Amino acid sequence: MEKKNIDPEIIEKANVWLNGNYDAESKNAINQMIENNPQELIESFYRDLEFGTGGLRGIMGVGTNRMNKYTVGMATQGLANYTLRMFPDLDQISAVIAYDCRNNNTFFAQITADVLTANGIKVYLFDELKPTPELSFAIRTLKAQIGIMITASHNPKEYNGYKVYWDDGGQLINPHDVNVVAEAQKIIDINEVNFKGNRTLQSSIGAEIDKKYVAAVKSLSLSPEIIRKHQDIKIVYTPIHGTGVKLIPMALKEFGFKKVFDVPEQSVVSGNFETVKSPNPEEPEALKMAIARALEIGAGLVMASDPDADRVGIAVRDDKNEFVLLNGNQTAAILIHYLFTKWQENGLLDGKQYMVKTIVTSELLIDMAEKFGIDSYDVLTGFKFIADIIKQLEGKKTFIGGGEESYGFLVGDFVRDKDAVSACAMIAETAAWAADQGMKLYDLLKQIYLEYGFYYETLISVVKKGKEGAEAIQAMMVDYRNNPPKSINNSEVITIKDYQKQIHFDLKSKSENKIDLPKSNVLQFFTADGSKISVRPSGTEPKIKFYFGVKAPLDKIEDFDLVHNQLKDRINKIIESMELHSSFE
């Protein structure tokens, strides 16, 4: 591709960098792309990084569509401008900054700190890598107005990111997210960014916050006496090179578990994630070494957190004593069942408790809440919406717990984001509680299905990279919206929920009802046989996601494998009927 064939707007954006107050290294990289790699130039400049469900996230490199000093600086200047405007009466506005194990983590953290302090904002900067949930906790503890987490969560090593939090400890939601982006977009000249930090406004924090945070996690325990009886259950935990390396073993120890084993190779902090293809606990390969370690020492529970320790994946022993990976819906079911049961047994339920899940997470959690007389709320995908419900109900009702199918869980409300530290501790406690009844976690899952019905869910993602991929994903959503399927797997579509239009269509009665949630590019199809299919583009990755959920009665434990296979076959037929296999790259 020659330069003359590149969109003039992209050339113009590149020229702004070439002629502006940018460093020589960046300018050289742009010239190299123009001469030798015009496609990379397009990918680097065809758009500006935007805040999605996970904030600012992108591949590190030169350009407006990349994570670098300048995109981070402009975002931070916009954030500073907005924050100063929103808190005009405070004598001193403050921010907390944390970072995970990513490459360039401290560089981006210090750039962020410098821009904030240059604008008169006091900064509390963690002295070493910390989990995302601890940042949320620190914002609330230090009564800061904003927080920034330098992380790209579970993305590949080429990525970095920038999550922004408000004074409640939750990620930015409307109108703050839109307004911060608008402020950043007003900055059209890099000279408008003040990079000259005021180090007198920067303070280091660390161990004192760790201590308070772990104490808060310990306060969640509902069965300390049961842990004492089963303190020797063997647990293998891996941080997958990330921030959970210190605090999750610390929390497990505080809970009373005596035999927590690590995976030495994966306890090495590294942004290159040398031992895995992807540092994502949703991926079976990411838990492979931990499972091998568990087999070696005879452990019954494996837990893995992602790089910023806000999500956790687990593996448990099945009927054949072999390890199986639980998906996020299954882990959520086990954890929520335990929380509800113990709250009831401990006499803590008074009708003012509630649970929150996302719209693509298993309906099983709603059924559980109804049985225990606990209120439940469905929110859009993104834990920031769960945090918003907690904020709205603060002082009125008590949040027990909640989560999302993408391996994010939260117990208690002192953190306002998903929290692998507390989740690991409470999952371990659930395992001890099950052991006290002569069960493994796998047995407990079966008991839940026996009581509520066998819910089976799965997810597939169609990856579409780059500018062309983004356009293809948008075209797919437009087609599903304008030409929705009349039937799926030979079962009539009876309900469509369009969260972009905020309309619930009942196709049987031909009626429409308003969906009382913010607009979001999500479609859900419900069929006559009880199947649920959700479609949404990812807010943080170049992919479109399809969520499938089906259900059938489980009359007796002995039928578990039979019903499991029937439901699995049903979902495979749904996928075939939607012709999704041919979409994979």
Taking the C-alpha atoms of residue 555 and residue 450, their distance in angstroms, rounded to an integer, is: 6
Residue 549 has φ and ψ, to the nearest 5°, of -140, 130
Q: For residue 495, list its beta bridge partners.
A: 506, 526
Q: Which of 206, 236, 71, 235 is nearest to 134 (CA)?
A: 206
Provide the residue type at 415 as one letter: V
Taking the C-alpha atoms of residue 374 and residue 353, their distance in angstroms, rounded to an integer, is: 6
Q: For residue 148, list its beta bridge partners.
A: 97, 164
Question: What separation in angstroms does the CA of 145 have from each of 110, 112, 170?
Answer: 18, 15, 11
Taking the C-alpha atoms of residue 338 and residue 347, their distance in angstroms, rounded to an integer, is: 14
Q: Which of 59, 69, 61 is nearest to 157 (CA)?
A: 59
Between the two ends of the chain, the Cα-to-Cα distance in Å is 23
Q: Which of 26, 153, 520, 531 is catalytic?
A: 153
Token reading at 298 = 């005879």
Per residue, what are the HEC states of 59-113? EECCCCCCECHHHHHHHHHHHHHHHHHHCCCCCCCEEEEEECCCCCHHHHHHHHH
For this structure, is 538 an active site residue? no
Taking the C-alpha atoms of residue 533 and residue 548, their distance in angstroms, rounded to an integer, is: 5
Active site residues: 153
